[in-house]
Each structure stands twice: as C-alpha cells, then as structure tokens.
Amino acid sequence: MLRRKMTDVLEEWFSIEDKKALFIKGPRGVGKSFLVEQFAKEHYDNLITINFETNPLYKSIFAGSLDMGNLTKQITLKLQTSKLVPRKTLIFLDEVHLCERARDAAPVFMEDGRFDVIMASSVYGGNQNKFDTDIRENEYLVTMHSLDFEEFLWANGVSDKTISEVESHFNAKTPIPIALHEEFISLFKEYMVIGGLPEVVYSFIHKHNFKTVIRLQKAILRQYEKDIDKYLKKTDRRKVKQCLNSLPAQLVKEYKKFQYGVVEDKGNARKFESSILWLHDADMIHISFQLEDYKLPLANHARYDIFKVYYKDVGLLTGQLGYVAQQEIIDGNLNVFNSAVLESAVADLLVKQGYRLYYVQKPTNLSMEFMIRYNNVLTAVSCNDADNTKAKAMDSLFENHEISQGIELTV
C-alpha cells in the first residue's frame, strides 16, 4: 500500500472531538476512495459506502426529510445493512457532487454525533447541475492530489532520514553527496515518466513495465473524456475535448502559451474560453498566468487572458507523448519536446506544495518558467534545461528588477 500524506490529514481530523464532516476533493484517479476505505478499516468497526456514481438510486435516500430518524431508516432500507452502529460507523458519501441533498445531510449526521461522515468528489466544480462549490462552515474541505515527489520516493523505498538529508543540504545551500544526488535524479526522471497517479505508480513498482504505464495513463484520460460526456451538454463536449486533447501540442512548442488556434484553425477565446474554465473547475488541468510586473502580490500583476495549461499530473503528458518521451527522459535528455515534460513536472509539484502558477515571458530573452512567493520573498524558478539562456535571464532579473532569490533546476 502506498504511503500518502493525506493519511495524516485524516488522522488529524479523526482526533478532533467536535469535528465537522470531511470533504475530500481531487481529480479522478488520485486515490480518494481507496484511502478512505483503508482509513475506515483501521479506525471504525463498520463502513457504509454510498457511491452516487455506481448506484444513482442511492440519491433517493436523501430525497425526503433530512432528520436523523428518516436518514438512518432510509440507509438501512436501501442498502439492506445492519452495520449502522452508533459511534462505530463511518458513512462515506462518494462522488457526492451527484447528490446535493447528501451534502446537505452530512452536517446533520455530525451534529447528531453518532456517526462520522467523509465526502469525496472527483468533478467538484465541473458539474453541470450547479453543484454548490462554496466552502461551507459546517465542512472541512481538503484537496487531494496524485503522489508528489516525496510520496513517490517513499513508494520506491527511500527513507525519511535520506529525504531529510537532501532537504538539509538544500536549505543550507551545500552540495549533495554525488551518489545520493544521482539516486534522486534517477528517481526524478522516473517520476517525470510515471507521474503520481497511484494505480500507475503501484503498477510500475511491482512490474517495472513502461508499456503498461502508458496504457494506464491513457485509460485515465479516457475516463476524463467519459466525465466530460457525463457532465456536459452535447454542444459543449466537443469543445472541451478539443482543448484537453490539444495540450501535448501546446506544451511541446518553444513558447508554451495556450493558443486557441492550436485547438482549432481560427479558434478564439469567445469559442473556447469557457471550455478551459470547465477543465480547470473539474480538476483536470493547472493554469499558469503571465505576469505583467515582478511584484508581490503576484495575483495583482497577472494577465488572466494570457496563460499556459498543464495536465493535472505530469504522467498524463508523458503518456500522450509516448515511448519516445519515456526513453529520452530516462536516458537523460530532458530537452526532448522543448522541455515540455520537465516544465510540466515542476508546475505539478509547485501546485502540490500549495503555490499558484505564474510565469514571465518577454519579447527579449527575459523569460522565466515560474515566479513564486517562497519564504515570503519573490522567487524566480527556472527549469528549462536547454542551455544557459535561463541563467542569463535570472541574472537580468536580479540586476534590473526587485528580485533577489532564484531556484534553478538542472538535471
């Protein structure tokens, strides 16, 4: 079983005496349901799973009164279960975006105090049924991602002690021992190819089969398309799929700005902007906005009509680019496809650390893949391995702008 950081979040939530219902949102395939089921085995005698995607009829449980008497009666009737035991049972409302009334019922259970409730959703903000995406006072909302690099290291047997050693060198700005550096670089290359989707990671660790990796990555993307078909009107489906399927072509360009003309000849924002917003709200993509100025707060200096788009997991891009990308990256050529995979990996990892994505692109050589607020300091992040152009851009930012800190990733 893969070790996940979200387990610590669940443990913290479980320890709260007067807790709210827990709501876990995150893309399809990141392991939400599996994690909750494993957690329930360790902390409860009984688990009642109500999955509104696999069994839409369960919506009828919440169609009537939301008082505790009726809710418990409906659950035992519709699920034909005797496991609804007070203070020993977790109720798991999976894909709850398909039943707004079930979300309304969650605080009723929690206030009653006899049962704990966890909810999960994979298309949190992309439901055409206008699912309420506002954070509610009676919920604890958390976001779950695919595995980050540290979780990937755990999956590959790297100890906390070894990871802490690398972190200490990074924080002290001292060289990492060569053998350790080479081990981490090798694993990072694998992470760029495999990504962090649990099913893909687990398969690779046990089978070490790159062909299977691509098959599983493509299966996830097919599931994305099924979700698009499920939640969108027929007139919108094609446009959203066009945008999603254009991402490899967008990212392999030298300048990775999202262009509607790549989606479709003579395409424009009027036709496709809403499709990009839907993909973002449905947790299928990351968006990075171009900065007009290099000042904090970054959100105040961004152009929201100029942006880049990345897959939610870097492995999905590598899977689309195929075995050539796999082979080149594992062999050390991170420049392949104009460093598309390397930049996508860094974007994904920054988001998993809680950063919003911004970048710099000027007509001159003054460009930078990412700008973040790191330790409360405006920080440039360079990850293009092509040549020393980015080093020159970094120097220019230091000399001509109010930027005093930078991170260069070279592999």
pTM over 0.85: yes
Q: Cα separation of 116 and 90, whole Å?
A: 5
**Quick one: pLDDT at residue 389?**
63
Mean pLDDT of the chain, nearest integer: 93
Q: What percent of the chain has pLDDT over 90?
A: 85
Distances 83 to 58, 80, 355 between C-alpha atoms, Å: 17, 9, 42
Instruction: Write the CB contacts of 4 (distance below 8 Å, at least 6 apart in sequence).
Output: 31, 35, 147, 151
CATH class assigned to 6-143: alpha beta
Model confidence over 344-385: pLDDT tens digits?
999 999 999 999 999 999 876 678 999 999 999 999 999 865
Kindly tell me if the per-residue pLDDT of 32 is higher than 90: yes
If you average pLDDT over residues 301-330, what whole number do you get?
97
Kindly tell me if the per-residue pLDDT of 391 is higher than 60: yes
Indicate the pLDDT class of residue 388, thresholds 50, 70 and 90.
low
Kindly tell me if the per-residue pLDDT of 126 is higher than 90: no
Task: Indicate the DSSP class of residue 98.
Answer: G
If you average pLDDT over residues 76-94, what whole number do you get?
95
**Quick one: pLDDT at residue 102?**
97
**Quick one: pLDDT at residue 124?**
66
* 66-80, 129-143, 182-196, 331-345: the lowest-pLDDT one: 129-143
3 state DSSP class of 47 = strand
Q: Which residue has the tokens 């039943």?
A: 99
Kindly tell me if the per-residue pLDDT of 219 is higher than 80: yes
Q: Does residue 162 or residue 125 have the better pLDDT? A: 162
Indicate the pLDDT class of residue 314, thresholds 50, 70 and 90.
very high
Q: What percent of the chain has pLDDT over 70?
A: 95
**Ranges of each domain in the chain:** 6-143, 152-408
Indicate the pLDDT class of residue 135, thresholds 50, 70 and 90.
confident
